[in-house]
Amino acid sequence: MSYKITLIPGDGIGPEVTVSACQIVNATGVKIDWEVCEAGAEVFKKGIATGVPQETMDSINRNKIALKGPLSTPVGFGEKSANVTLRKMFETYGNIRPVKEFPGVATPYSGRDIDLVIVRENVEDLYAGIEHMQTPGVAQCLKLISRKGCEKIVRLGFEFARSQNRKTIHCATKANIMKFSEGMLKRTFEDIAKEYPDIQANHIIVDNCAHQLVKKPEQFEVIVTTNMNGDILSDLSSALIGGLGFAPGANIGDNVCIFEAVHGSAPKYAGKNVINPMAVILSAIMMLRHLGEFKAALDIEHALYITCVVDKILTRDVVGDEKGAPTTLFTETVIKNLGKRYEGIQDRAYKPISISHTKIPTEPVHVKERFVEGVDIFFESTQPAKEFGKLMEVAASEASVKLKLITSRGMKIYPATEGIELDLTDHVCARFVSNEPLNEETIQKLIHAVSKKAAWTHIEKLHVFDGKAGYTKAHGEE
Ligand code: NAP
């Protein structure tokens, strides 16, 4: 059996760490034809805005599996992240990030048996990157979370737990504050948990999850979470086991899987032969298990244990600049140790992961009854709340609706509440409601009426689905 796999060396330290991983995988005897492809900084320089050329897309589409080095992203301006583009283009909706104590790598947590997996939603949430400047001084980022996306990631979490015989799973959300978006993941998790009675399902608020991860990380086995939460929790968790040098990852889609380390391109270490290649090697181990090459995966795992514990060949991130082994020596030692067994650790029983459930197309959410009972219209305005409120009262009466309130960043400012002190911006929202369901004609009339009074920036309909309000109340709203 031989495999064709797309290899993206990437930027910065990427070429060094991927060469190390490929040499080790090749030395196991698993036959892989690596198709080397470009993405990242050099591609941006050629003027390809996605950072991913068509040939690389074609290769991944053909091969379905890729091993990828880190790609640099300009910060705060310019192009979108090529990493995020790749995840989105192939709908790799699940990002699996194992965090496991590594023998021979001393940390303040050594001996606590940390062995958890973060299953992070990978294509939705704030990382959709839908941002708009509402005014020159106020930015907005849309946090879109779908029931379908939640179902897929939750099922992946449970299936992953089963494939590794793990008995508990936590769902980490901020549903206490973001009741609709983060709450969607919580509700979906609680629904789907009923299908997995063999796994104990717990919900945890994400900030407490971060706290508990530092305090008692060994209590966690699998954590399923939204994109942004997962990004932060997984970096935090990797620090518990020795840092980003030990944090592998897999981007899982229905058709394509892309394996990559959690870390970035660490440009200051590029070409210095000092970087720890372990995270990409561990990602390659995940890839081998995904291919069903369980023996080769175990061989590499044991060769890594012997290299770190017996030979004490460790890179500078673990033992400091003076004693750190070069990346190439680390790689050669792992290859030399292939076939040896390290007795100090109990191997986990791995089964192929069953993601057939996640392939079942989930139905759109149907409701029996729906209507629009109002609209929120956002404005650029620096007028005092009282004056602005009066203008909106007039607009509301022109459209035969009622002005319920005006808010600034979610807090009621009109009608005024005694004793509150707010530092206002140039961005306000007027909530208009009606006793009758609002039709398009009334909404158009209202937009026309408010446009004469102030500059509106966007509008949201206040839906009611099956009798439940599909929007949150403002702070201070009755
Ligand atoms: P980074 O490249 O992950 O590096 C941050 C720090 O983590 C490094 O300075 C180093 O710490 C440590 N580190 C990273 N990789 C390591 C390894 N293999 N072995 C040992 N230590 C390692 O993060 P960044 O500096 O924030 O980002 C640099 C670029 O990478 C950015 O352009 C960013 O967008 C990109 N990035 C890409 C990906 C990806 O491709 N998936 C992920 C994250 C970031 P010390 O300084 O303490 O030695």
- The answer to whether position 476 is within a domain reads no
Domain boundary among 188, 208, 239: 239
Range 371-397 average pLDDT: 96
The 10s digit of each residue's pLDDT in 450-469 is 999 999 999 999 999 999 99
CB 107 within 8 A of CB 114: no
Residue 188 belongs to domain spanning: 115-239
* Percentage of residues of the chain with pLDDT beyond 90: 82
Nearest 5°: CA angle at 230, between 226 and 236? 155
Same domain, 415 and 404: yes
Paired with 402 in beta bridges are 433
Whole-number Å distance between alpha carbons of 421 and 294 = 62
Q: Is the pLDDT of residue 205 over 80?
A: yes
Q: Is 244 in the pocket of ligand 1 (CB under 6 A)?
A: yes
Is 386 tagged catalytic?
A: no
Q: Is 126 exposed, middle or buried (0-12, 13-18, 19+ CB in 10 A)?
A: middle
The answer to whether residue 156 is domain-embedded is yes
With respect to residue 107, please indicate whether it lies within any of the assigned structural domains. no
Closest CA to 168 of 197, 148, 206, 143: 197
Verify whether ligand 1 is closer than 6 Å to residue 70 (CB atom). Answer: yes
Asked if 284 and 231 sit in the same domain, the reply is no
Range of weakest confidence among 111-120, 335-344, 415-424: 415-424
Percent of the chain at pLDDT exceeding 70: 96
Does residue 72 line the site of ligand 1, with CB under 6 A?
A: yes
In angstroms and rounded to an integer, the radius of gyration of the C-alpha atoms of the chain is 26
Q: Is 318 in the pocket of ligand 1 (CB under 6 A)?
A: no
Q: Is 299 in the pocket of ligand 1 (CB under 6 A)?
A: no
Same domain, 245 and 171: no
SS3 of 424-438: the string is CCCEEEEEEECCCCC
For the chain, how long is the longest CA-to-CA vector?
Answer: 82
Q: Are residues 38 and 134 in the same domain?
A: no
| pLDDT computed for residue 129 by the predictor | 83
Q: Is residue 337 part of a domain?
A: yes
Residues 315, 339 within the same domain? yes
What is the distance in A from the centroid of ligand 1 to the CA of 273?
15
Residues 213 and 232 in one domain: yes
Is the per-residue pLDDT at 312 higher than 60? yes
Asked, for residue 101, whether it belongs to a domain, the answer is no
Q: Are residues 12 and 81 in the same domain?
A: yes
Report pLDDT digits (tens) over 29-51: 999 999 999 999 888 888 888 88
Which of 348, 382, 400 terminates a domain? The answer is 348
Q: Are residues 235 and 123 in the same domain?
A: yes
232-248 pLDDT, tens digit per residue, is: 999 999 999 999 999 99
Q: Which of 93, 127, 269, 414 is catalytic?
A: 127
Q: What is the CATH number of the domain that holds 286?
A: 3.40.718.10
pLDDT(303) > 90: yes
- Are residue 120 and residue 233 in the same domain, yes or no? yes
Tell me, yes or no, if 404 is annotated catalytic: no
Give residue-wise pLDDT tens across range 399-424.
999 999 999 999 999 998 777 777 88
What are the Cα distances from residue 472, in Å, to 65, 189, 218, 407, 475? 42, 21, 37, 13, 9
* CA 449 remoteness from chain centre: 42
Q: Give residue 77's pLDDT.
A: 46
Same domain, 38 and 74: yes
> Is there a domain that residue 97 lies in?
no
Q: Which atom of ligand 1 is nearest to the CA of 276?
A: 19
Per the domain annotation, does 167 fall within a domain? yes
Q: Active site includes 207?
A: yes
Task: Give the residue, out of 105, 244, 272, with the most ligand 1 atoms within 8 A of its beta carbon, to mutate for a pocket test.
Answer: 244
Residue 162, pLDDT > 50, answer yes
End-of-domain residue from the set 239, 269, 303: 239
**219 and 316 part of one domain:** no
Strands (E), 307-399: 370-380
Asked if residues 8 and 17 have their Cβ atoms less than 8 Å apart, the reply is: no
The pair of structure tokens assigned to 14 is 């990427």
Nearest Cα residue to 263 out of 242, 288, 286: 242
Residue 103 lies in a domain: no
Residues 7 and 45 in one domain: yes
pLDDT for the residue 359: 53
Look up the CATH number of the domain holding residue 413: 3.30.70.1570
Could you give the angle at the alpha carbon of 100 between the alpha carbons of 170 and 120, nearest 5°?
A: 40
DSSP assignment letter at 144: B
* Total of domains in the chain: 3
